Structure 1
């Protein structure tokens, strides 16, 4: 039976790795084939087919519920009920809408909306809204968070921006939102947002600095409700009843063990309801229920059975859970603990158990974090030694008790004030650690090196005395010191990163690296910090020889400060150096300046008669083995005419579309002289500027140019000097992504 359960889990998990869903007839035939195989004792194959078929059916339902392409960018009036916990960030209301109705067309059942400057929106209210609809897409960059997969896992079929609306009905059955409002109104010594995260699992009240501290110290799991909190509450209830029974204070007519297990499970379910039943919470509740059942009846089955049953239970209820990183981390952490403690011949002392558990979890999760593209906390094992008992035993009890006693005057507020102060001290301590040892963003490694590192981690988790266990350390270190291929002399690797409505292009030669533009920043949304800097780390960039900021507009220069803070930058050059932050110490772009890196030639141009910021863009020509790429910034037709009188007016293979494909750029005169065979366009989906303009696309298509659009292809990599077509992230097929278009 265990083999069949493992095969079922494997079938359900296979969905995560499918480049495309099988045809309908095939996944409908899978359960039929499985039933036919059962009499022949091939039940593992049958269970695998059952699991894969069920996962494919659910994935297809979710894909069919997404916004049709024909409605992308349309504005429609819709009605729906607000669900979840709405967030208010920098004047923007963000919330999810369900039970959606529209008079003229069928729309997805659930949407994620943003209302800029909108009124307060509360959970449970019913609204009529005018929404500009968007298909669920996200930025695609190397080893980055896949927002589109996350939306599909949440079964969100569309996103959108609210233009106007009216409230049709007040809130109903919104008790979690009511509790949140009470918690936010309490004096918690400035930490009401952290209390809300701890009690309700709502991290909207945490600042960016708070999240960075939690990430650096590996303690995110402590503040946003995880299985640990659920298990702690269930354990307290169980031990309380066991203690009462031991001292004769429990009624004799009630058998203490069934009551302890039942009330502990009820406490776990109540806390899970309070937390909103996210994937980690559902996993924890199911695991606790199975553990308690195991305690009552099935102790002889071992510790792996509850984990395996919980894994299958979660995936059968929600097969798309495997698209979320938290799912893998939750089950992997429990598996590491079972593997660590299950094979020991003798017990450890309590302090050995506690310290070794932290280090072994860090080792066991390291390959998984690398595969998921997540930062790895170097200080996590040490920080968690003190952070876990502080939150679990010191902060959580007054926080939960204070929330429960909020209706009692002064009592609940006092307990929450105390809990807030305890969290504040905790954050201050973690901040000291975070400032000294930030999280490590590892470079992507080849598959063979990752496999060796994963095997090494498993070896290190085994008990002492196991043959070949000492080989685990050198094998694990392959994740850090794996050899990486070097670029050839005379070849440049060019990455146009997917940063939305902005530009960031990485150029690397054999021994040198430069960045052309740094991505956009609009308000608190800094894509230089969120997208460009992590991408540079994951691509193995240790520092920049040159950061060239074409001009000072926020969509090109906004991320420069974050990048200069996160990486060593030798020089900064810009067409508008005086308009950049002083700490960048930018130099002016000088026309005619040339240099060579590792056989690759670079040449700058800047129009001295520029009349505005776009015309001031610093233009860069890169030539590798005779193949040319022109990075043009935001120059317009007037600047393009001046460029044609410069030495850069040469036949060019690749053109970074000036001004994101604006109608004011990419003039016929420029295209006639440069004769590019392809254009790279960096823009945001559904941007308000209308980039790229249809007339510009028509000019490109008339000349037979291949168009590589960041919205349609994601990040784009060009090996300049090899005369090969670019590769795009969307060519890395996943069933939840649309394939890249073949645009002539």
Structure 2
């Protein structure tokens, strides 16, 4: 085993010297990510090892690798630093009035209102919430503009046209630091924002002057020559052209597919593609750039240009396209790989795939060190490795006799039969490749999204096929524009129906039994071992890779839902656990009831916040996964206020909910928000059942009793929903707790009079 590993390592170093350099630099970046070491702690040792290289040239290879490790740590530490005048040092958790001046570098995105705000008067007038990113330059402090640095996420409750990339604005609003996580397992939005350079949030109230112009925002200049502004402006321009050219029901899907503008994709569509395992079709990846490269190459050859000219132009165009679409790691990886392969071909040197991939990894690590561990980045590189190594080593090459025999058999068949057999082989090859990639990537996807999509094996190839056609039509549609109306109409029709086909396949796949299921988070130890074994197989560490790789992946996939074995090693004791989650202005309580046999019943009382249904994605679901919960037995909605049910539908979409309970008078509160909730529950086959005083839920020795309201609600107005709030009392040998919801006023007096 050691000898095989040494031979494989020697082959890699000889054929792809950049590969070990990329590994060493990455280790340093992850070291800087996991530690708080300063920049000098990595820079000084790196300079020491580089000095030894000059004194000991014979040890060059052995000394370069540790030098790169320390350089990676110093690079990541420097990227995480915030300047003395950075917004992260100025903003606090308490919103304060602030006047900022800066340049719009990304956005704007017009976002749909959260579920519960659909009936709000301001939303009813057709306004939406806008969000954009501003590179702050100065702040008004004590009568002077003082220089500051850092990006700020700006939100405004009314739509407007001033926030276009490249425009310089003065804004007056409430400045606030991005909140750190306050619940176990909660997504750390603050760290994610800092990795993108966003250091604070600025909320504009959307006030207007008498002439209709914004009162909280002033246009200073109309354009900035920053490259990122040019790229963002091109992306916004292209997305708007696509939205105007295709049918409205697929307009946002087209913008996401062609230009990577996923922020405005409808949440139901995004969840549909995610649950069926084909969301990569909507995210700009290597597949998209390869298709664009081939289309541009064929177009250049058809127009009569020489191959060398076409290759160079295509490589440059692919790089520009990757930057216009946002320059995320998957797109940048594909662009650098195509560019390096093109340079190797133009210099008449055989391109090394490993070297090209390692160069792409190094470029991503240098430009985006914070994104190396992101799901999209890891999936992109692993998928590329699987496609290259595993698929190439699956079939042995045919001998000359076998090729001659196959040609003779093919000539003896009718042409249409040969055509059908050829297409059938192509379909089978597509499904074989899809299965190998799915087996290799599913553990990482399950660890990051807590979801396994079995139906992706079935719908993956046809969705990718239709997505490729939609991408080609959409890209040509951007180039054609309004100058070629007939061609644009045909391309628009092709884009629309290809995307509708993708959506229909995803919808059909989701409707199949067992299409997807939720899973608890995987143990990090098992995940690391799995990918070490996978990487070893890909680089040729094991003999007979074709069978051992696939069999090992299949066995691992069968076993991984059973891991980690924490529940077997540490049996759960009978009792109950009550967690009050910090959701801001809202409520969410998670009850875990355990009986003597180790069975568990999960009750969630309320899931909502004024901030909208994002509370489920950011807080509630991560907490449930942290606790190893993939199913909620009872969802109790205490009363019909937005801050108690805004995340209910998203919770039902993300985890399995067996039953929903509401109190008397819930349906009588007539507004659009409750109507959307009830209709959404009905569509998910979760018709709410009624809870009222006198009923109880039991699990083992624990009892949940309903103390209020009575079934007939005498003397309580349905519009005063707080007075009709459900009140639950938990009793068990291990203690008890009272959950009063938002009970107040006449409801409180009635409950006390009943002497519960």
Shift of 1:103: 2.3
* 2:483 match: secondary structure: coil
Contact map agreement 2:98 2:140 (CA 8 A) in 1: no
Contact map agreement 2:182 2:582 (CA 8 A) in 1: yes
For residues 141 and 371 of structure 1, do their structure 2 counterparts lie closer, same or farther at Cα, with a shift above 3 Å needed?
farther
The C-alpha deviation readout for 1:547-583, integer Å capped at 9, x for no partner, is 3333322211333455457634346254755557666
Contact map agreement 2:332 2:360 (CA 8 A) in 1: no
Shift of 1:132: 1.0
Higher helix share: 2
Contact map agreement 1:337 1:361 (CA 8 A) in 2: yes
For residues 622 and 456 of structure 1, do their structure 2 counterparts lie closer, same or farther at Cα, with a shift above 3 Å needed?
farther
Contact map agreement 1:136 1:159 (CA 8 A) in 2: yes
Q: Give the corresponding residue for 1:110.
A: 151
The more displaced of 57-66 and 473-482 is 57-66
Tell me how far apart the structure 2 counterparts of residues 74 and 576 of structure 1 sit (CA, whole Å): 40
Shift of 1:261: 2.9
* 1:520 match: secondary structure: strand
1:476 equivalenced with 2:521 (yes/no):
no
The C-alpha deviation readout for 1:38-93, integer Å capped at 9, x for no partner, is 45633322211111111111112489844236544112111222222311123111
1:209 equivalenced with 2:295 (yes/no):
no
Shift of 1:466: 5.7
* 1:114 match: secondary structure: strand
Q: Of 39, 45, 50, which residue of structure 2 is paired with 1:35?
A: 50
Q: Give the corresponding residue for 1:553.
A: 641
Q: Give the corresponding residue for 2:699.
A: 597
The more displaced of 42-51 and 540-549 is 540-549
* 2:37 match: secondary structure: coil
Q: Give the corresponding residue for 2:434.
A: 358
Tell me how far apart the structure 2 counterparts of residues 389 and 285 of structure 1 sit (CA, whole Å): 21
* 1:124 match: secondary structure: coil
Q: Of 320, 336, 342, which residue of structure 2 is paired with 1:270?
A: 320
* 1:519 match: secondary structure: strand
Q: Of 359, 372, 389, which residue of structure 1 is paired with 2:465?
A: 389
Q: Give the corresponding residue for 1:496.
A: 580
1:14 equivalenced with 2:14 (yes/no):
no
Shift of 1:336: 1.9
Shift of 1:115: 0.4
Q: Give the corresponding residue for 1:82.
A: 104
* 1:224 match: secondary structure: coil
For residues 470 and 647 of structure 1, do their structure 2 counterparts lie closer, same or farther at Cα, with a shift above 3 Å needed?
farther
Tell me how far apart the structure 1 counterparts of residues 701 and 650 of structure 2 sit (CA, whole Å): 30
Contact map agreement 1:116 1:162 (CA 8 A) in 2: yes
Runs of 5+ unmatched residues, structure 1: 649-744
Instruction: Spell out the pairing of 1:247-286 with structure 2 (5 A cutoff).
Output: 256=307, 258-286=308-336
1:68 equivalenced with 2:89 (yes/no):
yes
Shift of 1:232: 2.0
Instruction: Spell out the pairing of 1:73-152 with structure 2 (5 A cutoff).
Output: 73-90=95-112, 91-104=128-141, 107-120=148-161, 121-137=163-179, 145-152=187-194
The more displaced of 429-438 and 260-269 is 429-438
Contact map agreement 2:109 2:263 (CA 8 A) in 1: yes
The more displaced of 72-81 and 230-239 is 230-239
* 2:198 match: secondary structure: coil
Q: Of 569, 579, 588, which residue of structure 1 is paired with 2:691?
A: 588
Q: Give the corresponding residue for 1:631.
A: 739
Tell me how far apart the structure 1 counterparts of residues 46 and 635 of structure 2 sit (CA, whole Å): 56
Instruction: Spell out the pairing of 1:260-409 with structure 2 (5 A cutoff).
Output: 260-297=310-347, 302-322=352-372, 324-341=374-391, 343=393, 346-347=396-397, 351=427, 353-373=429-449, 375-392=451-468, 394-409=469-484
1:431 equivalenced with 2:482 (yes/no):
no
Tell me how far apart the structure 2 counterparts of residues 235 and 149 of structure 1 sit (CA, whole Å): 38
Shift of 1:361: 1.1
Shift of 1:304: 1.3
Instruction: Spell out the pairing of 1:161-200 with structure 2 (5 A cutoff).
Output: 161-163=203-205, 164-170=216-222, 173=230, 174-188=233-247, 190-200=249-259
Contact map agreement 1:521 1:554 (CA 8 A) in 2: yes
Q: Give the corresponding residue for 1:440.
A: 517
Tell me how far apart the structure 2 counterparts of residues 629 and 412 of structure 1 sit (CA, whole Å): 68
Tell me how far apart the structure 2 counterparts of residues 333 and 141 of structure 1 sit (CA, whole Å): 33
Shift of 1:409: 4.3
Shift of 1:312: 1.1
Q: Give the corresponding residue for 1:517.
A: 605
The C-alpha deviation readout for 1:522-556, integer Å capped at 9, x for no partner, is 69736457754575467444544433333322211
The more displaced of 135-144 and 223-232 is 135-144
The more displaced of 634-643 and 617-626 is 634-643
Contact map agreement 2:47 2:67 (CA 8 A) in 1: no
The C-alpha deviation readout for 1:573-616, integer Å capped at 9, x for no partner, is 5475555766643433426x666533445454337787853354
Tell me how far apart the structure 1 counterparts of residues 290 and 479 of structure 2 sit (CA, whole Å): 19
Tell me how far apart the structure 1 counterparts of residues 48 and 740 of structure 2 sit (CA, whole Å): 58
Q: TM-score scaled by structure 1?
A: 0.75
Tell me how far apart the structure 2 counterparts of residues 337 and 398 of structure 1 sit (CA, whole Å): 25
For residues 490 and 439 of structure 1, do their structure 2 counterparts lie closer, same or farther at Cα, with a shift above 3 Å needed?
closer
The C-alpha deviation readout for 1:277-332, integer Å capped at 9, x for no partner, is 23322222112112223434585573211111111111112211225322222222
For residues 223 and 573 of structure 1, do their structure 2 counterparts lie closer, same or farther at Cα, with a shift above 3 Å needed?
closer
Q: Of 254, 278, 294, which residue of structure 2 is paired with 1:235?
A: 294
Contact map agreement 2:276 2:516 (CA 8 A) in 1: yes
Q: Give the corresponding residue for 2:658.
A: 569
